[in-house]
Amino acid sequence: MSNVQRITQLQLTRRPRRNRQSAAIRNMVQETRLAVTDFILPLFVLEGEGVRSEVVSMPGIHRYSLDLLLEEVAECVGLGLTTFALFPNLPESKKDKYATESYNPDGLYLRAVKAIKDRFPDVVVMTDVAMDPYSSDGHDGIVENGKILNDPTLEVLGNMALAQAKAGADIVGPSDMMDGRVGYIRQVLDAGGFHDVAIMAYSAKYASAFYGPFRDALDSAPRFGDKKTYQMNPANSREALIEAELDYAEGADFLMVKPALAYLDVIKLLKDNFDLPIAAYNVSGEYAMIKAAARNGWLDGERAMMESLMAIKRAGANVILTYFAKEAAQLLKSV
């Protein structure tokens, strides 16, 4: 008896391939589905008029002056995107040690938040609460003698979050990793009457190499040292539970893991332990890697994009911040 005959005599009662034999069946048994409503698109705003400048390390992603930003939002809304995370690129002259420009109501960022909400009242605007885009030190906290001060930074973050709420932000996103910031911001917002402004906590934010292109986009790289005294050590996952527990107790409305792809286990961990919506930030470096490989013809960029986004959702994130949001929305619309 040949090997082939011997195998066909096997009585296999369980044949997983039966559920993969046609597109219709595969679709029927599919466990995870991406929808345009899963995505938050990060957007970069810069000063000027009629300016659209591509981020070299993020092909296809641009910094827009406010006029063109509004056009971009309109286009994205047409594709079904509803939520945008806004970040500012500021000239060096607007930066200082205390990030004071971050709560200037006439400054670029807050004007942009207001303009988006005025023109698109149904759009959800998520703002970034962190000092680094406005800091002459390029850090997320006040720097003194080479140290990042925690408690004095909270005051700046509170001012910033309140100013953003006044400008119309729906969700504020503290991305700074100072201890106690979620509770502090919640208090400040509530005292200001902004009970309805939500907090998406960057709970497990790691000191990652994958933020490089974002720092190019904002010219926000730390001027000295690194962010390891406040962002988490990539070696740790149990510590993510401590961060998430604190953010939960302090009133966070969403818990976020960042980056996403190298931290799928952490996404799953938070998903299994908390009943809040779990967000994941598919960061700039994760975007850049796929774009670079696709440009070289080394992999199919579209498929790699959709597979990555699917993996993030499968791991447990029901909200995905991603630079792919527009492209993925286009693709989802076309099928």
Residues lying near ligand PBG in the complex (CB under 6 A): 128, 130, 132, 140, 175-176, 211, 214-215, 227, 283-284
Q: How far is the CB of 132 from ligand PBG (least distance, A)?
A: 5
Is the Cβ of residue 140 or residue 243 nearer to ligand PBG in the bound state?
140
Q: How far is the CB of 30 from ligand PBG (least distance, A)?
A: 29
**Catalytic residue at 313?**
no
Adjacent-strand bridge partners of 85 = 42, 126
Is the Cβ of residue 65 or residue 220 nearer to ligand PBG in the bound state?
220
Q: How far is the CB of 177 from ligand PBG (least distance, A)?
A: 8
Is the Cβ of residue 128 or residue 137 nearer to ligand PBG in the bound state?
128
Q: How far is the CB of 252 from ligand PBG (least distance, A)?
A: 16
> Which of left, alpha, beta for 63 (phi over 0: left; psi -120 to 50: alpha)?
beta
Is the Cβ of residue 188 or residue 232 nearer to ligand PBG in the bound state?
232
From the candidates 258, 291, 313, 326, give the one annotated as an active-site residue.
258
The answer to whether 101 is a known ligand-binding residue is: no
From the candidates 205, 227, 291, 326, give the one annotated as an active-site residue.
205
**Catalytic residue at 94?**
no
Numbered residues of the known binding site: 243
Numbered residues of the known binding site for Mg(2+): 243
Give the catalytic positions in this structure: 205, 258
